[in-house]
Amino acid sequence: MILLRRLLGDVLRRQRQRQGRTLREVSSSARVSLGYLSEVERGQKEASSELLSAICDALELRMSELLREVSDELALAELAQSASDTVPSLGVPPGRGLERPMERSPMLNPVRVTSVTHRPDDHVTIKAPSEAVDVVAA
């Protein structure tokens, strides 16, 4: 299950770390308790729109930029989830006489995604460290 609060927290943490700022600095600037901000970043608490606005202000980040990045990550997570739902099981069924299950094919190892680019013609380019894949919306 994909949790929006986790994606939001991950993006907020990355933004804060890109700026080289501590939780304490951002929590003070946003007027949010350090513990609560930490829980939001870890995806343990749902942040209200008012709280997200205060955090974005403290990070000098537009909320639309935050939500765009979260949306991109959500799209990737959905693609990964639907891809894993369609991959057949590679284990050996019980009672087949083999002592250990077949090993996973290296072709089915997950790819770490480094960026996503949206183009107006409903194409999404997903760039991984060694390859790019175009996904066309149906």
Going residue by residue through the chain, which has 138 residues, state the pLDDT in tens, using 9 for 90 and above.
Answer: 889 999 999 999 999 999 999 999 999 999 999 999 999 999 999 999 999 999 999 999 999 999 999 999 999 989 888 877 765 555 545 544 444 444 444 444 444 555 555 555 555 555 555 544 455 444
Q: Specify the length of the chain in residues.
A: 138
Q: Which of 106, 109, 105, 137 is nearest to 121 (CA)?
A: 137
Query: Do 125 and 119 contact (CB within 8 A), yes or no?
Result: yes
Rounded (5°) CA angle 59-60-66: 75
Whether pTM > 0.95 for this model: the answer is no
User: Residue 46, Cα to own-chain centre: how many angstroms?
Assistant: 16
- C-alpha 129/C-alpha 115 separation (Å) is 9
